[in-house]
Amino acid sequence: MDTFALDERLARDSELLVHLGLCQLRLIKDSRWPWLVLVPKRPGISEVFDLTPLDQAVLTFEQNTVAAALKSVTGATKINIAAIGNIVRQLHVHVIARTEGDANWPGPVWGHGTAVPYGEDKRHVFQHKILEAIHS
Minimum distance, C-beta of residue 90 to a second copy, in the bound complex (Å) = 12
Beta strand 23-28 pairing with 93-98:
unpaired
Query: Closer to a second copy at the Cβ: 89 or 122?
Result: 89
CB of 23 to a second copy, least distance (A): 15
- How far apart, in whole angstroms, are the C-alpha atoms of residue 102 and residue 105? 5
From residue 50 to residue 89, the character string flagging contacts with a second copy as x (rule: CB under 8 A) and all else as - is: ------xx-xxx-xxx-xx--x-----xxxxxxxxxxx-x
Strands 35-40 and 14-19: unpaired
* Secondary structure of residue 12 in the 3-state scheme: helix
**In the complex, minimum distance from the CB of residue 83 to a second copy, in angstroms, rounded to a whole number:** 5
83 touches 93 (CB < 8 A) = yes
- Largest Cα separation within the chain, whole Å, is 47
Question: Judged by CB, which is closer to a second copy: 11, or 82?
Answer: 82
Q: Are 76 and 59 within 8 A, CB to CB?
A: no
Give 54's strand partners.
none
Q: Which of residues 12-51 bind a second copy (CB under 8 A)?
A: 46-49
Interaction pattern, residues 91-120, with a second copy; x per rule: CB under 8 A: -------x------xxxx-xx---------
Interacting residues toward a second copy by CB under 8 A: 46-49, 56-57, 59-61, 63-65, 67-68, 71, 77-87, 89, 98, 105-108, 110-111
